[in-house]
Structure 1
Amino acid sequence: MTTFVDRVELHVAAGSGGHGCASVHREKFKPLGGPDGGNGGRGGDVILVVDQDVTTLLDYHHSPHRKATNGQPGAGDNRSGKDGQDLILPVPDGTVVLDKDGNVLADLVGQGTTFIAGQGGRGGLGNAALASARRKAPGFALLGVPGDERDVVLELKTVADVALVGYPSAGKSSLISVLSAAKPKIADYPFTTLVPNLGVVTAGATVYTIADVPGLIPGASQGKGLGLEFLRHVERCSVLVHVLDTATLESDRDPVSDLDVIEAELKEYGAGLENRPRLVVLNKIDIPDGQDLADMVRPDLEERGYQVFEVSAVAHKGLKELSFALAELVSAHRAAQPKEESTRVVIRPKAVDDAGFTVTREEVDGEPLFRVRGEKPERWVRQTDFNNDEAVGYLADRLNRLGVEDQLMKAGARNGDGVAIGPEENAVVFDWEPTMMAGAEMLGRRGEDHRLEAPRPAAQRRRDRQAERDEAQQEFEDFNPF
């Protein structure tokens, strides 16, 4: 049964915002007390958080679909809907988040590091929030915005200071078991290690982590064996240790040729592995033939510039010298790293000529189509109830104030041309009528209700009624001159 998973495709869906409420306050002797519709709640986010207690992506392998809760709709009496609950997804330290095209979205390293994989939708405004001096009783409310839905790929890259690399059965698992408290599976057949193992080593005042990477073979950088599955676990390590088997039973192998093969695979894989500090461990010197072979190849390896250690994981020989040498390399690497700067707030002001949207001309079946793209126009369209004429008029007012009307005219749009707001796969398309859009501000008193106006004095009402009778009489006389 699979217990370790280091790559999954995750389908996340953030919560949608709740709809606003269109309501009018009513009570005895005051049937029209004004709009009191509450706002909808915000949809929950989907958040990835690094948790040191999590070491695998297995949970997301079994359950790849994750969804946050929606915001609740608003209600009358100015009651706002409840916000949706954020969905927290714990991931291992060293998780890389990519989109489906392979672009890196986030590199999550360090306890508590977070990334919002799906943004919850905004809640819609109720008619109480939409009321103004000009629009005293809106008969509509805004809809909630749908939450983000996206597919992301999670890849785990082990966070360790030292990586043990080498052929299968070279003794890497045995070595990490005696250097640290790790207890990996150890057997006398190739590919015993199927998952990376981590251990913690203390050498004097230095504490570092060491990773046992599953065995590599020729062609590993191209995916042969377990190569591509686990070479990425070496990327973050600051020191590489070549574990060479001096007691191999294969006649066509020897420590030097093994080293050349693994070095070629590391160079082919890239990711800067060819430039990492490295040293060589000649393992299994407790076997007589192993010691003899180590004595033969050591001068050749040292001539190449490698620091060489002869060890025996079984007999516990040479381990102290090796652990302190690794501690020295790790300490040097840590000292060379730039100091972490305090968090800075980066402000990116909007450009002076940035209208917040774009208008582009397209050709569809030989007919012009003008596409409007922008965060505000697209969100406003999603928030509009197109079954409500007043809400559609409110959208027209907003687009006109934003300058969409002017930009369409500059782009050459004419009466009856198609206008699409939003991306091609999810756009609202309508025939453009410039006069309707240009008159939106003149008709801006949408939502006013004369019944909510202040009552007129009795004398004024009598004068108004008399004026209406005089006007009717005059019309009658004009129509009947005799």
Structure 2
Amino acid sequence: MTTRFVDRAVIHLAAGSGGNGCASVHREKFKPLGGPDGGNGGTGGDVLLVVDPGVHTLLDFHYRPHARAGNGRQGQGSHRNGAAGETLELRVPEGTVVLTEDGEVLADLVGAGTTFVAAKGGRGGLGNAALASRARKAPGFALLGEEGESRDLVLELRSMADVGLLGFPSAGKSSLISVLSAAKPKIADYPFTTLVPNLGVVTAGDTVFTMADVPGLIPGASGGKGLGLDFLRHIERCAVFVHVIDCATYEAGRDPVSDIDALEEELARYTPALGESLEDRPRLVVLNKVDVPEAAELAEFVRPDLEQRGLRVFEVSTVSRHGLRELSFALGEIVERTRAERPAAEPTKIVLAPPAVDDSGFTIEADPDEPGGFIVRGPKPERWIRQTNFANDEAVGYLGDRLNRLGVEEELARMGAEPGCPVTIADYTFEWEPSTPSVVTQLAGRGTDPRLDRGDRVSAADRKQARRARRMSDADVDATDTGDVETDIDVGDDDR
């Protein structure tokens, strides 16, 4: 049973979500309020793509395209932080290119151990112990954990071969690689085309190089016709191109010169995704099947025309092994020269991109769907929204303090925002109330904020005051009723 070769796969990744922070107060005997001790939530796990030399196909991603990393655990009391989510490592073959669904190249994974963060895990929420300050001694809230990043990516495998064999279907590419290396591609005595790439290791003296036999090329391949794009993807990294020409073909309208012109036209039309031009790669021409008398005569006839174009021509036969030794040594010489001219690979550098001096961290624009409304965009405000528990008034007040310190309120006022106008941040829309104090200076119960008095919600203090008033009213009514009864009794005594 042969293993199926897959060189393109669409994967759906989900990083782990961060754990929520904990809102807890230390309590023990004779010390009921020992201060906040809620721990932070754990960070969600990342999804990593790691190059593994032992992997040669994207078959696993074809059958299991969905992958999810572990979530972070929630924080607990007694300053216990939640455990971080488990990072998920996905093994990919060398030469894998990571693209978005729109075709943008995100990473070119070359070299064993090369790692790419495909999806970033969410941050864990801070517990109330980390949120305590001079103005907020015992916060009655904690921050929520962020959701992990979800992405749909395209993986494409581009073979890491030194020599690429170009040619029409049934030109003899599979036969050539089978006799030059130990590769065993499918070979038959009837016309067909290779459906998957075949890699072989060729030894020429002291030089060892790899050769790729990839799907056959036909006119229109650069526009997606046939298996052309699957073919062209695998020759992007090749240092040498070899035109394999079938000199024994009986198809009308085909000859070695026209075949080479058709191949070169498709190469010129193809634009590699990696941005490297294919025009400067060295070329060789292999006139194949010269063991057939008519093919040998045709090869001898067209050879001068090809050499006038500056192409090195080799007449070979995979059956009689004629010309194979000269061809392998010529390829080895070109590969050695290309390797010597290639700059030494440099280790991946960590690039730090600090924010610009005039970068405020957010932008504000008019809301096209809400007259008089505004939309606030930026990584910080949107992240703070996701971390806020809107069922807790104190957490909402803390969000207002953070936005105010960032300068959002000042910028809204500068842009002409009026009190009560709708302001949208991420998926939430608020009614803007300006001049919110940035520090809580009034004492309040845990989980409440005195600045967020709502007309449609009765606070616990108001309910307590109303209950006390009702009790006092009931006591007055009882006292009045008792006085009336005593008066009636006295009157009755006087009458007697």
TM-score, reference length from structure 2: 0.85
What are the Cα deviations for residues 172-221 of structure 1, in whole angstroms up to 9, with x where unaligned? Answer: 01111111111111112333411011111122222211100111112212
Q: Which residue of 438, 441, 450 maps to 2:439?
A: 441
**Separation in 2, partners of 1:344, 1:2:** 37
After TM superposition, give the deviation of residue 133 of structure 1 in Å. Answer: 2.7
Distance 1:147-1:411 versus aligned 2 partners, 3 A rule:
same
After TM superposition, give the deviation of residue 9 of structure 1 in Å: 1.4
Query: Does residue 382 of the first structure (1) align with residue 386 of the second (2)?
Result: yes
The residue number in structure 1 matching 2:430 is 430
| Residue 373 in structure 1 maps to residue 377 in structure 2 | yes
1:14-29 to 2 correspondence within 5 Å? 14-29=15-30
Aligned to 1:298: 303
Deviation of 1:130 (Å) = 1.2
Tell me if the contact between 1:309 and 1:318 (Cα under 8 Å) persists in the aligned partners: yes
Partner of 1:240: 241
Per the alignment, residue 403 of structure 1 pairs with 407
Which residue of 319, 322, 337 corresponds with 1:314? 319
Alignment of 1:449-468 (within 5 A): none
What's the counterpart of residue 480 of structure 2?
A: none
Greater shift in the superposed pair: 158-167 or 351-360 = 351-360
Question: Structure 1 pair 269/343, CA: closer, same or farther in 2 (3 Å)?
Answer: closer
| 1:339, distance to aligned residue in structure 2 (A) | 2.8
Please, which of 317, 329, 332 is the counterpart of residue 327 of structure 1? 332
Separation in 1 of the partners of 2:170 and 2:346? 43
Take 2:353 and 2:64, find their aligned partners in 1: how far apart are those partners? 38
Aligned-pair CA distance for 1:363 = 2.7
Quick one: which of 291, 294, 300 aligns to 1:289?
A: 294
Pairwise CA distance, 1:259: 1.4
Alignment-derived partner of residue 412 in structure 1: 416
Report deviation, 1:54. Answer: 1.4
Residue aligned with 1:82, SS: coil
Question: Which residue of structure 2 lines up, in the alignment, with residue 337 of structure 1?
Answer: 342
Per the alignment, residue 105 of structure 2 pairs with 104
User: 1:364 Cα deviation (Å)?
Assistant: 1.6
Match of 1:464 in 2: none
| Alpha-carbon offset, residue 393 of structure 1 | 0.7
Q: Distance in 1 between matches of 2:258 and 2:139?
A: 81
Deviation string for 1:45-93 (max 9, x for gaps)? 0111111111111111111111111001011111111110111111111
Identify the range of structure 1 (215-224 vs 11-20) with the bigger mean alpha-carbon deviation: 215-224
Partner Cα separation in structure 2 for residue 141 and residue 445 of structure 1:
19
Match of 2:150 in 1: 149
Q: TM-score, structure 1 length as denominator?
A: 0.88
Structure 1 equivalent of residue 88 of structure 2: 87
Q: What is the alpha-carbon distance in structure 2 between the residues aligned to residue 444 and residue 328 of structure 1? A: 82
The SS at the match of 2:330 is helix
Letter in 1 for 2:301: M
Task: Give the aligned partner of residue 470 of structure 1.
Answer: none
Q: In the aligned structure 1, how far is the partner of 2:357 from the partner of 2:415?
A: 20
Q: Is the CA contact (8 Å cut-off) linking 2:135 and 2:441 kept in structure 1? A: no
The range that moved more, 188-197 or 314-323, is 188-197
- Residues 343, 61 of structure 1: alpha-carbon distance in 2 compared, 3 angstrom cutoff: closer
Percent identical across equivalent pairs?
Answer: 66
| Paired residue secondary structure (1:364) | coil
Contact 1:96 1:104 in 2 (8 A): yes
Q: How many residues align?
A: 442
Partner of residue 477, structure 1: none
Larger radius of gyration: 2
**Which amino acid in structure 2 is aligned with residue 287 of structure 1?**
V
* Inter-partner Cα distance in structure 2 for 1:344 and 1:5: 31
- Determine whether 1:279 maps to 2:280: no
Query: 1:151 is aligned with what amino acid?
Result: D
Distance 1:342 1:384, change over 3 A: same
Instruction: Flag the 1:68–1:4 CA change in 2: closer, same or farther, 3 A.
Output: same
> Structure 1 residues 248 and 403, CA, compared in 2 at 3 Å: closer, same or farther?
same
- Alpha-carbon separation, structure 2, partners of 1:220 and 1:397: 60
Q: 1:85 aligns to what SS in structure 2? A: coil
Q: Residues 148-183 of structure 1, C-alpha deviation per residue, up to 9 Å, x if partnerless?
A: 011111111111111001011111011111111111
The separation in 1 between residues aligned to 2:98 and 2:81, in whole angstroms, is 35
5+ long unaligned stretches in structure 1: 450-482
Partner of 1:260 in structure 2?
261
* Aligned match of 2:483: none
Note closer, same or farther for the CA distance 1:391–1:218 as it changes in structure 2 (3 Å cut).
Answer: same
Give the equivalent residue in structure 1 for 2:456.
none
Deviations 1:72-118 (A, max 9, x none): 10111111111101111111111111112111111111111111110
Deviates more, 1:298-307 or 1:250-259: 250-259
Is the deviation greater in 214-223 or in 84-93?
214-223
Tell whether the 8 Å contact from 2:136 to 2:440 is kept in structure 1 after alignment. no
Quick check: 2:23–2:38 contact (8 Å CA) kept in 1?
Answer: yes
- Give SS of 1:280's match: strand
Cα 1:131–1:420 change in 2 (3 A) is: same
C-alpha contact (below 8 Å) 2:215/2:230 kept by paired residues: no
Q: How far apart, in 2, do the equivalents of 1:342 and 1:55 lie?
A: 23
1:6-42: CA deviation from partner (whole Å, max 9, x where unpaired): 1221111100000011111222232222211111110
Quick one: which amino acid aligns to residue 374 of structure 1? G
Matched with 1:177 is 178
Structure 2: give runs of 5+ residues left out of the alignment: 448-496
Distance 1:370 1:229 in 2: 48
Q: Is the 8 A contact 1:136 1:447 kept in 2?
A: no
Aligned mates of 2:417, 2:210 — CA distance in 1: 64
